[in-house]
Structure 1
């Protein structure tokens, strides 16, 4: 059985748990312990153990699960369609995450290292601007990030939208993002691992 290491309140662990739910994969989850450091040199979660295969980095784990156990619905088999899904996954992991990091650490984690007002304001502005990019994309596609079908891109983007919604900042009225958030809540996996009150 799949083993997923990391607390289920972690946004990156929740990516993996939601992916498992979408694929109908049973798993065991356990919290990180000191002995797990040998599995990931970064000492970060999540870590996946699958029949002797050990993986870290949440998006990589999700890609692996879809490739190993999926039918091509969440992560298409053809190169062009797959690249479009992965493009939005990588955008979430790099551009979007970089935008929100300072504000989130200041306002939700209350980290003393992230309390410079100008940097908080800049991070909020960048975060909102990036959600505007997603809002434009959703306005163009009409349903999910890449059109009428739910894909792995929606797992990672959906959790990022949840984090944005849950963080106490002034937000533009992005109607396509709001409708997307409600649409994702129709999925059992998102109700359990996404829109669950944890930023």
Structure 2
């Protein structure tokens, strides 16, 4: 059985849990991270020297970085269901996964840390306002893409891109900020909510 190390509230752990649920994979999750077992323990650092969750242990395979774990699970167990075998189709999925991990994450970080985490280091009103604007602008890029596909991020079929972006969308919708009216994102959120795995592992928090 798969071992997933990381607390259930972590957005990156939830990516992996949602992927497992979509693929019907049994797993055992262990509580690691803030409020639970410290990721600075030697036992954990031997698995991930970055001291961050999640970590996947699949027999002799040990992986960290949530998007990489999701790719591995889909590639090994998905049979093309969430990550297409065709190089162009796969690249479109991975393009949006990479965008989520780089451009989108950088856009929301300051505003989220200030408004949800109440971080003392993120209290500058000007930077909060700038962060909100950057976040909304980034979500506008996804709005434009969904307007083209009329369905999911990478095309007509649900994919890993929608797992990682669905969690990012939920975070955006759950944070107390002013948001533009993005009709394609509204429709996308409703489409994702039809999936039992989304309701279980995406809509259960914003942190």
TM over 0.5: yes
Count of paired positions:
199
TM-score, with structure 1 as normaliser:
0.98
- Structure 1 unaligned residues grouped into runs of 5+: none
Please say if 1:112 is aligned against 2:120: yes
What's the C-alpha RMSD, in Å, of the aligned pairs? 0.8
Task: State the alpha-carbon separation in 2 of the partners of residues 187 and 6 from structure 1.
Answer: 23
- From 124, 138, 144, give the equivalent of 2:146: 138
Alpha-carbon distance, 1:116 to partner: 0.9
Task: State the alpha-carbon separation in 2 of the partners of residues 146 and 18 from structure 1.
Answer: 18
Deviation above 4 Å: which 4+ runs of structure 1?
A: none
Alignment-derived partner of residue 176 in structure 1? 184
- From 158, 162, 165, give the equivalent of 2:166: 158
TM-score, with structure 2 as normaliser:
0.94
Please say if 1:18 is aligned against 2:26: no
Q: Tell me the secondary structure at the aligned position of residue 76 of structure 1.
A: coil
User: 5 Å matches for 1:29-178?
Assistant: 29-32=29-32, 33=37, 34=41, 35-178=43-186
- Structure 2 unaligned residues grouped into runs of 5+: none
Alpha-carbon distance, 1:147 to partner: 2.1
The question of whether the paired residues in 1 share the 8 Å contact of 2:2 and 2:59 is answered with yes
**Alignment deviations for residues 144-164 of structure 1 (CA, whole Å, 9 cap, x no partner):** 112221000000000000000
Alpha-carbon distance, 1:83 to partner: 0.5
